[in-house]
């Protein structure tokens, strides 16, 4: 039996403190990126089929877009330093710095010890959505990715088209290795276009129908040479299920763009984190 202390309400009334004030966080030069993106030349594209994943490469200083092309569809995005796959997207620290969902001007940060910007969101056609009455928003860094292990725990069976498995197959094909070797490279994702939040009464992670429509896109600036993998989630718009063979699913288009020569004069790739890694020894 839980005993309520006499000062319970006073304890609850304590004001919160932001864990990581970001006033001193290095900021992207959005005016430079906005100018550069006005004159882009497409250099590559990859169509990610429904309930599957594909890899793509983006050179440092280029832009890439993820676009809804046929119907409302969410995607799970992994990023790696193309020159060192040990440096990968760190969703937890990105969440701690920017919040549960990210949009224009915010960044995808890399894992330790690099701990630097990998990609900056340069444009978001869903930037108007904000936070809805349920506490939901788009492009979250709180959901880890649908996976066959959790599916097995909750529903049993062997489901192979979860985003984790899709990303694993895509990386195995890209590297030419067995899926068991590729799987440890797959990591927590940016849930592109997914509309999510936490329930106010139970604190549970929820999803709802994505507001994305054909033509909407999320655009990034590559701060380093990137290898990306994107899964077109088997939940479609995630209005009902996120591991399903019956949900309406659609492809996602990834396009890579080069800026005009000279458009990024003054920009340099971010250095690795300045911590000396001595850990007090």
pLDDT of 244: 84
What average pLDDT does this structure show over 244-265? 96
Q: What average pLDDT does the segment 172-195 reach?
A: 98
Q: What is the mean pLDDT of residues 157-164?
A: 96
Stretch 151-168: mean pLDDT: 96
pLDDT of res. 183? 98
For 109-136, what is each residue's pLDDT tens digit? 999 999 999 999 999 999 999 999 999 9
**Mean pLDDT of the residues in the chain:** 97
pLDDT in tens, 45-70: 999 999 999 999 999 999 999 999 99
Question: What digits encode the pLDDT tens for the residues 87-115?
Answer: 999 999 999 999 999 999 999 999 999 99
Tokens of 87: 């440096």
DSSP state of 183: G
User: What pLDDT is stored for residue 243 in this prediction?
Assistant: 81
pLDDT at site 241? 83
The Cα 88–Cα 67 span in angstroms is: 22
Residue 234's pLDDT band (boundaries 50, 70, 90)?
very high
Take residue 124 and report the two structure tokens written for it: 């978001």
pLDDT, residue 229, reads 99
What is the C-alpha to C-alpha distance for residues 208 and 215, in angstroms, rounded to an integer? 20
pTM score: 0.97
What's the CA gap between 32 and 168, in Å, rounded?
36
Helix (H) or strand (E) holding 11: helix 8-12
| Four-residue CA torsion sign, 99, 102, 105, 108 | positive
Average pLDDT over residues 142-161: 95
The predicted model gives 224-243 an average pLDDT of: 95
């Amino acid at each position: 039996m839980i005993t309520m202390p006499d000062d319970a309400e006073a304890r609850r009334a304590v004001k919160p403190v932001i864990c990581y004030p970001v006033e001193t966080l290095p900021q992207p030069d959005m005016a430079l990126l906005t100018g550069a993106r006005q004159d882009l030349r497409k250099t590559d594209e990859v169509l990610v089929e429904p309930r599957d994943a594909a890899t793509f490469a983006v050179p440092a200083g280029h832009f890439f877009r993820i676009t809804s092309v046929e119907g409302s569809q969410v995607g799970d995005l992994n990023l790696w330093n193309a020159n060192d796959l040990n440096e990968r997207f760190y969703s937890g620290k990105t969440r701690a710095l920017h919040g549960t969902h990210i949009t224009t001007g915010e960044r995808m940060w890399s894992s330790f010890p690099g701990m630097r910007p990998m990609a900056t969101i340069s444009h978001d056609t869903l930037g108007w959505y904000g936070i809805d009455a349920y506490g939901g928003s788009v492009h979250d860094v709180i959901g880890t990715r649908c996976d066959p292990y959790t599916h097995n725990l909750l529903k049993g069976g062997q489901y192979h088209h979860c985003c984790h498995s899709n990303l694993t197959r895509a990386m195995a094909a890209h590297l030419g290795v067995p899926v068991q070797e590729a799987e440890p490279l797959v990591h927590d994702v940016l849930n592109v276009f997914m509309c999510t939040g936490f329930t106010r009464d139970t604190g549970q992670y929820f999803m709802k129908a994505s507001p994305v429509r054909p033509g909407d896109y999320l655009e990034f600036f590559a701060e380093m040479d990137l290898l990306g993998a994107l899964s077109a989630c088997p939940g479609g718009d995630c209005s009902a299920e996120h591991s399903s063979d019956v949900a309406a699913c659609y492809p996602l288009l990834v396009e890579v763009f080069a800026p005009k020569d000279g458009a990024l004069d003054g920009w340099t790739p971010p250095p690795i984190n300045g911590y000396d890694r001595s850990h007090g020894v």
